[in-house]
Structure 1
Amino acid sequence: MHYRTGDLRDQLAHLGHAVVQAGLVVGSGGNLSARAPYADECWVTAAGTWLDRLDRGSFVRVRITDGAALDNGAAPSSELGLHLATYRARPDVNAIVHLHPQSVLLLDAVGAPIVLATTDHAFYLRRVATTPFVPPGRPEVGALAAAACADGTNCVVLSRHGCSVIADSVELAHKRAFYLEEAAQLTYRALLLGRPLDPLPTDWLHADNVTA
Protein backbone atom coordinates (compact mmCIF):
# COMPACT_ATOMS: atom_id res chain seq x y z
CA MET A 1 0.00 0.00 0.00
CA HIS A 2 1.39 3.37 -1.01
CA TYR A 3 1.98 6.17 1.47
CA ARG A 4 -0.79 8.73 1.87
CA THR A 5 -0.58 11.37 -0.85
CA GLY A 6 -2.23 14.73 -1.49
CA ASP A 7 -2.52 17.60 0.97
CA LEU A 8 0.56 17.87 3.19
CA ARG A 9 -1.65 18.27 6.25
CA ASP A 10 -3.25 14.89 5.57
CA GLN A 11 0.18 13.31 5.21
CA LEU A 12 1.34 14.84 8.50
CA ALA A 13 -1.85 13.72 10.25
CA HIS A 14 -1.20 10.18 9.02
CA LEU A 15 2.37 10.38 10.33
CA GLY A 16 1.25 11.79 13.66
CA HIS A 17 -1.15 8.94 14.31
CA ALA A 18 1.49 6.37 13.37
CA VAL A 19 4.24 7.74 15.62
CA VAL A 20 1.91 7.91 18.62
CA GLN A 21 0.78 4.33 18.01
CA ALA A 22 4.45 3.32 17.83
CA GLY A 23 5.19 5.01 21.16
CA LEU A 24 7.58 7.61 19.76
CA VAL A 25 5.73 10.41 21.53
CA VAL A 26 2.92 10.75 24.07
CA GLY A 27 0.26 13.36 24.78
CA SER A 28 0.78 16.65 23.00
CA GLY A 29 4.55 16.26 22.89
CA GLY A 30 6.34 16.70 19.59
CA ASN A 31 5.45 18.71 16.51
CA LEU A 32 5.47 18.31 12.73
CA SER A 33 5.80 20.46 9.66
CA ALA A 34 5.99 20.21 5.87
CA ARG A 35 6.23 22.44 2.84
CA ALA A 36 6.12 22.21 -0.94
CA PRO A 37 9.63 22.00 -2.44
CA TYR A 38 11.52 25.30 -1.97
CA ALA A 39 8.36 27.11 -0.83
CA ASP A 40 8.70 30.03 1.59
CA GLU A 41 5.82 28.77 3.71
CA CYS A 42 5.12 25.61 5.65
CA TRP A 43 2.35 23.92 7.59
CA VAL A 44 3.26 23.37 11.23
CA THR A 45 1.23 21.79 14.02
CA ALA A 46 -0.59 24.24 16.27
CA ALA A 47 0.45 24.58 19.90
CA GLY A 48 -0.95 21.89 22.19
CA THR A 49 -2.16 19.54 19.46
CA TRP A 50 -2.13 15.78 20.09
CA LEU A 51 -0.33 14.09 17.22
CA ASP A 52 -2.77 11.21 16.97
CA ARG A 53 -5.76 13.56 16.69
CA LEU A 54 -4.66 15.83 13.85
CA ASP A 55 -6.84 17.09 11.03
CA ARG A 56 -6.40 19.96 8.57
CA GLY A 57 -7.50 22.47 11.18
CA SER A 58 -4.64 21.39 13.47
CA PHE A 59 -2.02 23.19 11.37
CA VAL A 60 -0.92 26.78 11.00
CA ARG A 61 0.54 28.13 7.75
CA VAL A 62 3.72 30.06 8.48
CA ARG A 63 6.09 32.06 6.29
CA ILE A 64 9.61 30.72 6.66
CA THR A 65 11.58 33.90 6.07
CA ASP A 66 10.04 35.86 8.95
CA GLY A 67 7.90 33.36 10.91
CA ALA A 68 4.65 35.20 10.26
CA ALA A 69 1.42 33.16 10.61
CA LEU A 70 -0.49 33.49 7.33
CA ASP A 71 -3.91 32.16 8.34
CA ASN A 72 -5.74 30.14 10.99
CA GLY A 73 -6.15 31.90 14.32
CA ALA A 74 -4.35 29.15 16.26
CA ALA A 75 -0.82 29.72 17.54
CA PRO A 76 1.92 27.56 16.00
CA SER A 77 3.95 25.11 18.05
CA SER A 78 6.26 26.57 20.68
CA GLU A 79 9.08 24.86 18.75
CA LEU A 80 8.33 26.82 15.57
CA GLY A 81 11.89 28.17 15.68
CA LEU A 82 13.28 24.66 15.27
CA HIS A 83 11.35 24.19 12.04
CA LEU A 84 12.08 27.62 10.58
CA ALA A 85 15.81 27.47 11.34
CA THR A 86 16.08 24.04 9.74
CA TYR A 87 14.26 25.03 6.56
CA ARG A 88 16.48 28.09 6.25
CA ALA A 89 19.64 26.00 6.68
CA ARG A 90 18.51 23.15 4.40
CA PRO A 91 16.66 24.23 1.23
CA ASP A 92 16.37 20.55 0.26
CA VAL A 93 14.25 19.71 3.32
CA ASN A 94 10.46 19.58 2.94
CA ALA A 95 9.42 17.79 6.16
CA ILE A 96 10.51 18.00 9.80
CA VAL A 97 9.49 15.55 12.52
CA HIS A 98 10.20 16.49 16.14
CA LEU A 99 9.45 13.65 18.57
CA HIS A 100 10.42 12.39 22.03
CA PRO A 101 11.36 8.72 21.40
CA GLN A 102 12.04 6.91 24.66
CA SER A 103 14.99 4.75 23.60
CA VAL A 104 16.71 7.66 21.86
CA LEU A 105 16.35 9.81 24.98
CA LEU A 106 17.37 7.04 27.36
CA LEU A 107 20.64 6.47 25.52
CA ASP A 108 21.28 10.21 25.45
CA ALA A 109 20.66 10.47 29.19
CA VAL A 110 23.23 7.75 29.98
CA GLY A 111 25.75 9.08 27.47
CA ALA A 112 25.59 6.10 25.11
CA PRO A 113 25.74 6.90 21.37
CA ILE A 114 23.22 5.32 19.02
CA VAL A 115 24.93 2.64 16.94
CA LEU A 116 23.96 2.21 13.28
CA ALA A 117 24.05 -1.56 13.19
CA THR A 118 22.08 -2.58 10.10
CA THR A 119 22.03 -1.77 6.41
CA ASP A 120 18.63 -0.09 6.87
CA HIS A 121 20.15 2.23 9.46
CA ALA A 122 22.99 3.04 7.06
CA PHE A 123 20.67 3.74 4.15
CA TYR A 124 18.07 5.84 5.97
CA LEU A 125 20.08 7.50 8.73
CA ARG A 126 23.75 7.57 7.64
CA ARG A 127 24.75 9.45 10.79
CA VAL A 128 23.20 10.90 13.94
CA ALA A 129 24.26 14.18 15.54
CA THR A 130 23.57 15.36 19.09
CA THR A 131 23.15 18.94 20.32
CA PRO A 132 23.71 20.14 23.90
CA PHE A 133 20.76 20.51 26.25
CA VAL A 134 18.73 23.69 25.88
CA PRO A 135 15.31 24.13 27.52
CA PRO A 136 12.48 23.53 25.01
CA GLY A 137 11.14 26.56 23.19
CA ARG A 138 14.35 28.57 23.40
CA PRO A 139 15.71 30.04 20.14
CA GLU A 140 18.95 28.14 20.72
CA VAL A 141 17.12 24.84 20.10
CA GLY A 142 16.54 25.76 16.48
CA ALA A 143 19.95 27.36 16.00
CA LEU A 144 21.81 24.31 17.29
CA ALA A 145 19.68 21.85 15.31
CA ALA A 146 20.11 23.85 12.10
CA ALA A 147 23.88 23.98 12.60
CA ALA A 148 23.99 20.23 13.25
CA CYS A 149 22.16 19.39 10.02
CA ALA A 150 23.87 21.96 7.79
CA ASP A 151 26.40 19.34 6.64
CA GLY A 152 23.69 17.01 5.34
CA THR A 153 22.92 15.20 8.61
CA ASN A 154 19.23 14.24 8.72
CA CYS A 155 18.83 12.96 12.30
CA VAL A 156 19.61 15.18 15.28
CA VAL A 157 19.18 14.22 18.92
CA LEU A 158 18.26 17.25 21.04
CA SER A 159 19.82 16.26 24.35
CA ARG A 160 17.30 15.45 27.13
CA HIS A 161 14.55 16.75 24.87
CA GLY A 162 13.84 14.75 21.71
CA CYS A 163 14.91 14.43 18.12
CA SER A 164 14.60 16.36 14.88
CA VAL A 165 14.36 14.14 11.81
CA ILE A 166 14.26 15.74 8.38
CA ALA A 167 13.76 14.69 4.76
CA ASP A 168 12.61 15.84 1.35
CA SER A 169 9.22 14.19 1.90
CA VAL A 170 6.88 13.37 4.76
CA GLU A 171 7.16 9.68 3.96
CA LEU A 172 10.95 9.62 4.16
CA ALA A 173 10.96 11.64 7.39
CA HIS A 174 8.49 9.10 8.80
CA LYS A 175 10.77 6.20 7.86
CA ARG A 176 13.82 7.90 9.33
CA ALA A 177 12.05 8.53 12.63
CA PHE A 178 11.16 4.85 12.88
CA TYR A 179 14.66 3.67 12.00
CA LEU A 180 16.25 6.09 14.46
CA GLU A 181 14.22 4.61 17.30
CA GLU A 182 14.92 1.07 16.05
CA ALA A 183 18.67 1.76 16.07
CA ALA A 184 18.37 3.13 19.61
CA GLN A 185 16.41 0.07 20.76
CA LEU A 186 18.98 -2.35 19.34
CA THR A 187 21.80 -0.36 20.93
CA TYR A 188 20.03 -0.45 24.30
CA ARG A 189 19.27 -4.17 24.15
CA ALA A 190 22.87 -4.96 23.30
CA LEU A 191 24.03 -2.93 26.30
CA LEU A 192 21.64 -4.90 28.51
CA LEU A 193 23.21 -8.10 27.24
CA GLY A 194 26.65 -6.75 28.04
CA ARG A 195 27.61 -7.01 24.37
CA PRO A 196 27.81 -3.48 22.94
CA LEU A 197 27.09 -3.34 19.22
CA ASP A 198 29.86 -2.85 16.70
CA PRO A 199 28.89 -0.23 14.12
CA LEU A 200 29.00 -0.96 10.43
CA PRO A 201 32.44 -0.33 8.89
CA THR A 202 32.93 3.42 8.46
CA ASP A 203 34.17 3.13 4.87
CA TRP A 204 31.10 1.09 3.92
CA LEU A 205 28.67 3.24 5.90
CA HIS A 206 29.62 6.34 3.90
CA ALA A 207 29.95 4.61 0.55
CA ASP A 208 27.88 5.93 -2.35
CA ASN A 209 26.51 2.47 -3.09
CA VAL A 210 24.83 1.88 0.27
CA THR A 211 21.38 0.38 -0.37
CA ALA A 212 18.57 -0.74 1.91
Structure 2
Amino acid sequence: MSATGPASPPRLDAGSEDERDLRDQLAQVGAEVVRAGLVVGSGGNLSARRPGDDTCWVTGAGTWLDRLDRPSFVRVRISDGSSEPGLVPSSEVALHLATYRARPDVTAIIHLHPQMALLLDALGERVRLLTTDHAFYVRRVGTVPFFPPGTAELAEAAAAAVADGTNCLILSRHGCSVLADSVELAHKRASNLEEAAHLTYRALALGRAADLTDQPPPAVA
Protein backbone atom coordinates (compact mmCIF):
# COMPACT_ATOMS: atom_id res chain seq x y z
CA MET A 1 0.00 0.00 0.00
CA SER A 2 1.32 3.44 -0.85
CA ALA A 3 1.36 6.42 1.48
CA THR A 4 -1.62 7.86 -0.37
CA GLY A 5 -3.79 4.80 0.01
CA PRO A 6 -4.41 1.42 -1.68
CA ALA A 7 -3.16 1.02 -5.26
CA SER A 8 -5.75 1.14 -8.01
CA PRO A 9 -6.44 -2.18 -9.78
CA PRO A 10 -4.63 -2.53 -13.13
CA ARG A 11 -6.54 -1.65 -16.28
CA LEU A 12 -7.60 -4.62 -18.37
CA ASP A 13 -5.99 -3.58 -21.64
CA ALA A 14 -3.98 -5.27 -24.40
CA GLY A 15 -0.96 -5.53 -22.11
CA SER A 16 -2.62 -7.00 -19.03
CA GLU A 17 -2.01 -10.55 -17.88
CA ASP A 18 -5.70 -11.47 -18.22
CA GLU A 19 -5.71 -10.52 -21.89
CA ARG A 20 -2.36 -12.13 -22.69
CA ASP A 21 -3.57 -15.35 -21.09
CA LEU A 22 -6.14 -15.76 -23.87
CA ARG A 23 -3.36 -15.69 -26.44
CA ASP A 24 -1.37 -18.25 -24.48
CA GLN A 25 -4.38 -20.58 -24.40
CA LEU A 26 -4.95 -20.19 -28.13
CA ALA A 27 -1.27 -20.81 -28.88
CA GLN A 28 -1.36 -24.05 -26.90
CA VAL A 29 -4.48 -25.22 -28.72
CA GLY A 30 -2.90 -24.30 -32.06
CA ALA A 31 0.05 -26.59 -31.40
CA GLU A 32 -2.19 -29.42 -30.22
CA VAL A 33 -4.60 -29.35 -33.18
CA VAL A 34 -1.67 -29.44 -35.61
CA ARG A 35 -0.22 -32.47 -33.79
CA ALA A 36 -3.64 -34.12 -33.99
CA GLY A 37 -3.82 -33.58 -37.75
CA LEU A 38 -6.85 -31.30 -37.59
CA VAL A 39 -5.11 -28.72 -39.78
CA VAL A 40 -1.90 -28.51 -41.82
CA GLY A 41 0.45 -25.72 -42.85
CA SER A 42 -0.86 -22.23 -42.25
CA GLY A 43 -4.50 -23.31 -42.56
CA GLY A 44 -7.07 -22.64 -39.85
CA ASN A 45 -7.46 -19.73 -37.46
CA LEU A 46 -8.37 -19.13 -33.83
CA SER A 47 -9.95 -16.38 -31.77
CA ALA A 48 -11.05 -15.60 -28.23
CA ARG A 49 -12.47 -12.74 -26.21
CA ARG A 50 -13.46 -11.94 -22.66
CA PRO A 51 -17.19 -12.37 -21.90
CA GLY A 52 -19.15 -9.38 -23.18
CA ASP A 53 -16.12 -7.66 -24.68
CA ASP A 54 -16.35 -5.94 -28.07
CA THR A 55 -12.79 -6.93 -28.98
CA CYS A 56 -11.25 -10.32 -29.65
CA TRP A 57 -7.83 -11.76 -30.35
CA VAL A 58 -7.57 -13.37 -33.81
CA THR A 59 -4.61 -15.17 -35.34
CA GLY A 60 -2.72 -13.08 -37.85
CA ALA A 61 -2.77 -13.76 -41.58
CA GLY A 62 -0.37 -16.48 -42.66
CA THR A 63 0.46 -17.67 -39.15
CA TRP A 64 1.06 -21.38 -38.58
CA LEU A 65 -1.02 -22.73 -35.71
CA ASP A 66 1.87 -24.71 -34.22
CA ARG A 67 4.16 -21.66 -34.19
CA LEU A 68 1.97 -19.13 -32.41
CA ASP A 69 3.13 -16.75 -29.71
CA ARG A 70 1.59 -13.59 -28.30
CA PRO A 71 2.65 -11.33 -31.19
CA SER A 72 0.91 -13.74 -33.61
CA PHE A 73 -2.49 -12.34 -32.65
CA VAL A 74 -4.34 -9.21 -33.72
CA ARG A 75 -6.86 -7.42 -31.53
CA VAL A 76 -10.00 -6.72 -33.58
CA ARG A 77 -13.15 -4.82 -32.68
CA ILE A 78 -16.16 -7.09 -33.14
CA SER A 79 -18.72 -4.38 -33.87
CA ASP A 80 -16.91 -2.79 -36.80
CA GLY A 81 -13.95 -5.05 -37.68
CA SER A 82 -11.35 -2.37 -37.01
CA SER A 83 -7.87 -3.26 -35.75
CA GLU A 84 -4.69 -1.43 -34.90
CA PRO A 85 -2.01 -0.97 -37.59
CA GLY A 86 0.49 -3.78 -37.83
CA LEU A 87 -0.13 -7.48 -38.29
CA VAL A 88 -3.12 -8.16 -40.55
CA PRO A 89 -5.81 -10.47 -39.09
CA SER A 90 -6.61 -13.81 -40.68
CA SER A 91 -8.48 -13.74 -43.98
CA GLU A 92 -11.30 -15.52 -42.12
CA VAL A 93 -11.72 -12.74 -39.56
CA ALA A 94 -15.21 -11.98 -40.92
CA LEU A 95 -16.29 -15.52 -39.99
CA HIS A 96 -15.23 -14.96 -36.38
CA LEU A 97 -16.76 -11.50 -36.05
CA ALA A 98 -20.11 -12.48 -37.57
CA THR A 99 -20.31 -15.46 -35.22
CA TYR A 100 -19.57 -13.37 -32.14
CA ARG A 101 -22.26 -10.91 -33.17
CA ALA A 102 -24.80 -13.73 -33.57
CA ARG A 103 -23.78 -15.54 -30.38
CA PRO A 104 -23.08 -13.26 -27.40
CA ASP A 105 -22.48 -16.37 -25.27
CA VAL A 106 -19.49 -17.48 -27.34
CA THR A 107 -16.00 -16.45 -26.21
CA ALA A 108 -13.82 -18.79 -28.33
CA ILE A 109 -13.93 -19.92 -31.96
CA ILE A 110 -11.74 -22.57 -33.57
CA HIS A 111 -11.71 -22.80 -37.36
CA LEU A 112 -9.92 -25.94 -38.60
CA HIS A 113 -9.77 -28.22 -41.64
CA PRO A 114 -10.60 -31.69 -40.23
CA GLN A 115 -10.15 -34.13 -43.12
CA MET A 116 -12.55 -36.88 -42.07
CA ALA A 117 -15.45 -34.59 -41.22
CA LEU A 118 -14.98 -32.83 -44.55
CA LEU A 119 -14.79 -36.11 -46.46
CA LEU A 120 -18.05 -37.33 -44.96
CA ASP A 121 -19.75 -34.05 -45.81
CA ALA A 122 -18.48 -34.23 -49.39
CA LEU A 123 -19.94 -37.75 -49.63
CA GLY A 124 -23.29 -36.56 -48.32
CA GLU A 125 -22.87 -38.51 -45.08
CA ARG A 126 -23.67 -36.94 -41.73
CA VAL A 127 -21.39 -37.38 -38.75
CA ARG A 128 -22.93 -39.78 -36.23
CA LEU A 129 -22.46 -39.05 -32.53
CA LEU A 130 -21.72 -42.48 -31.12
CA THR A 131 -20.30 -41.97 -27.65
CA THR A 132 -21.45 -40.10 -24.59
CA ASP A 133 -18.55 -37.66 -25.10
CA HIS A 134 -19.71 -36.98 -28.65
CA ALA A 135 -23.22 -36.36 -27.41
CA PHE A 136 -22.10 -34.13 -24.55
CA TYR A 137 -19.53 -32.01 -26.35
CA VAL A 138 -20.77 -31.90 -29.94
CA ARG A 139 -24.53 -32.32 -29.36
CA ARG A 140 -25.36 -31.68 -33.00
CA VAL A 141 -23.51 -30.90 -36.20
CA GLY A 142 -24.67 -28.14 -38.52
CA THR A 143 -23.57 -27.63 -42.10
CA VAL A 144 -23.46 -24.78 -44.58
CA PRO A 145 -22.99 -25.14 -48.34
CA PHE A 146 -19.78 -24.06 -50.00
CA PHE A 147 -18.96 -20.37 -50.11
CA PRO A 148 -15.51 -19.06 -51.05
CA PRO A 149 -13.28 -18.79 -47.96
CA GLY A 150 -12.93 -15.35 -46.47
CA THR A 151 -16.10 -13.96 -48.02
CA ALA A 152 -18.94 -12.09 -46.37
CA GLU A 153 -21.33 -14.72 -47.76
CA LEU A 154 -19.56 -17.47 -45.82
CA ALA A 155 -19.46 -15.40 -42.64
CA GLU A 156 -23.16 -14.59 -42.84
CA ALA A 157 -24.18 -18.18 -43.62
CA ALA A 158 -22.10 -19.54 -40.76
CA ALA A 159 -23.46 -17.00 -38.28
CA ALA A 160 -27.03 -17.80 -39.30
CA ALA A 161 -26.38 -21.54 -38.91
CA VAL A 162 -25.17 -21.22 -35.31
CA ALA A 163 -27.70 -18.65 -34.14
CA ASP A 164 -29.91 -21.49 -32.81
CA GLY A 165 -27.21 -22.67 -30.40
CA THR A 166 -25.34 -25.06 -32.69
CA ASN A 167 -21.69 -25.17 -31.65
CA CYS A 168 -20.13 -27.45 -34.28
CA LEU A 169 -20.48 -26.41 -37.89
CA ILE A 170 -19.05 -28.00 -41.04
CA LEU A 171 -18.28 -25.55 -43.84
CA SER A 172 -18.60 -27.68 -46.96
CA ARG A 173 -15.35 -28.29 -48.92
CA HIS A 174 -13.59 -25.98 -46.52
CA GLY A 175 -13.43 -26.66 -42.80
CA CYS A 176 -15.28 -26.46 -39.53
CA SER A 177 -16.19 -23.72 -37.10
CA VAL A 178 -16.39 -24.79 -33.46
CA LEU A 179 -17.68 -22.48 -30.73
CA ALA A 180 -17.64 -22.44 -26.95
CA ASP A 181 -17.57 -20.25 -23.87
CA SER A 182 -13.90 -21.13 -23.28
CA VAL A 183 -10.87 -22.00 -25.38
CA GLU A 184 -10.56 -25.38 -23.67
CA LEU A 185 -14.16 -26.35 -24.39
CA ALA A 186 -13.88 -25.33 -28.04
CA HIS A 187 -10.82 -27.56 -28.33
CA LYS A 188 -12.66 -30.51 -26.77
CA ARG A 189 -15.57 -30.03 -29.15
CA ALA A 190 -13.32 -29.88 -32.20
CA SER A 191 -11.52 -33.06 -31.13
CA ASN A 192 -14.75 -34.93 -30.49
CA LEU A 193 -16.23 -33.81 -33.79
CA GLU A 194 -13.33 -35.34 -35.73
CA GLU A 195 -13.29 -38.50 -33.60
CA ALA A 196 -17.00 -38.98 -34.33
CA ALA A 197 -16.27 -38.50 -38.02
CA HIS A 198 -13.55 -41.18 -37.93
CA LEU A 199 -15.88 -43.70 -36.26
CA THR A 200 -18.61 -42.90 -38.77
CA TYR A 201 -16.18 -43.49 -41.63
CA ARG A 202 -15.12 -46.86 -40.21
CA ALA A 203 -18.74 -47.93 -40.00
CA LEU A 204 -19.22 -46.89 -43.63
CA ALA A 205 -16.13 -48.89 -44.65
CA LEU A 206 -17.58 -51.94 -42.90
CA GLY A 207 -20.92 -51.45 -44.62
CA ARG A 208 -22.61 -50.99 -41.26
CA ALA A 209 -23.36 -47.25 -41.19
CA ALA A 210 -27.10 -47.94 -41.45
CA ASP A 211 -26.88 -49.72 -38.09
CA LEU A 212 -25.54 -46.65 -36.32
CA THR A 213 -27.76 -44.55 -34.10
CA ASP A 214 -26.89 -41.33 -32.36
CA GLN A 215 -26.68 -41.23 -28.60
CA PRO A 216 -30.22 -40.76 -27.20
CA PRO A 217 -31.26 -37.44 -25.61
CA PRO A 218 -30.73 -38.70 -22.03
CA ALA A 219 -27.02 -39.04 -22.78
CA VAL A 220 -26.88 -35.36 -23.69
CA ALA A 221 -28.76 -34.34 -20.57
Q: Normalising by structure 2, what TM-score?
A: 0.88
Structure 1: gaps of 5 or more residues: none
Q: Once the two structures are superposed, what CA deviation does each residue of 1:145-196 show, in whole Å capped at 9, x if it has no partner? A: 1101000000000000000000000000000000000000000011001110
Q: Secondary structure at the match of 2:38?
A: coil
Where does 1:62-211 land on structure 2 (aligned, <5 Å)? Answer: 62-69=76-83, 71=84, 73-196=86-209, 197-200=211-214, 204-205=216-217, 207=218, 210=220
1:6, distance to aligned residue in structure 2 (A):
6.7
Aligned residue number for residue 9 of structure 2:
none
Runs (4+) of structure 1 moved beyond 3 Å?
none
Q: Which amino acid aligns with 1:9?
A: R
Q: For the Cα contact (< 8 Å) 2:44–2:65, is it kept in 1?
A: yes
Q: Secondary structure at the match of 2:208?
A: coil
Structure 2: gaps of 5 or more residues: 1-18
Report the structure number with the largest CA radius of gyration: 2
Q: Secondary structure at the match of 2:47?
A: strand
Is 1:18 the counterpart of 2:28? The answer is no
Overall identity of the aligned pairs, in %? 70
Distance 2:126 2:85 in 1: 40
Distance 2:129 2:206 in 1: 17
Distance 1:161 1:210 in 2: 28
Q: For the Cα contact (< 8 Å) 1:60–1:72, is it kept in 2?
A: no
Q: Which amino acid aligns with 1:31?
A: N
Q: Which amino acid aligns with 2:180?
A: A
Alignment length (residue pairs)? 202
1:198, distance to aligned residue in structure 2 (A):
1.6
Q: Secondary structure at the match of 2:126?
A: coil
Q: For the Cα contact (< 8 Å) 1:61–1:72, is it kept in 2?
A: no
Q: Once the two structures are superposed, what CA deviation does each residue of 1:110-132 show, in whole Å capped at 9, x if it has no partner? A: 11110111111110011000001
Q: Once the two structures are superposed, what CA deviation does each residue of 1:77-118 show, in whole Å capped at 9, x if it has no partner? A: 000000000000000000000000010111111111101111
Aligned residue number for residue 7 of structure 2:
none
1:29 to 43, 65, 70: 43
Shifted more, 161-170 versus 108-117: the winner is: 108-117
Where does 1:34-73 land on structure 2 (aligned, <5 Å)? Answer: 34-69=48-83, 71=84, 73=86
Q: For the Cα contact (< 8 Å) 1:32–1:45, is it kept in 2?
A: yes
Shifted more, 52-61 versus 105-114: the winner is: 105-114
Cα RMSD (Å) of the superposition? 1.4
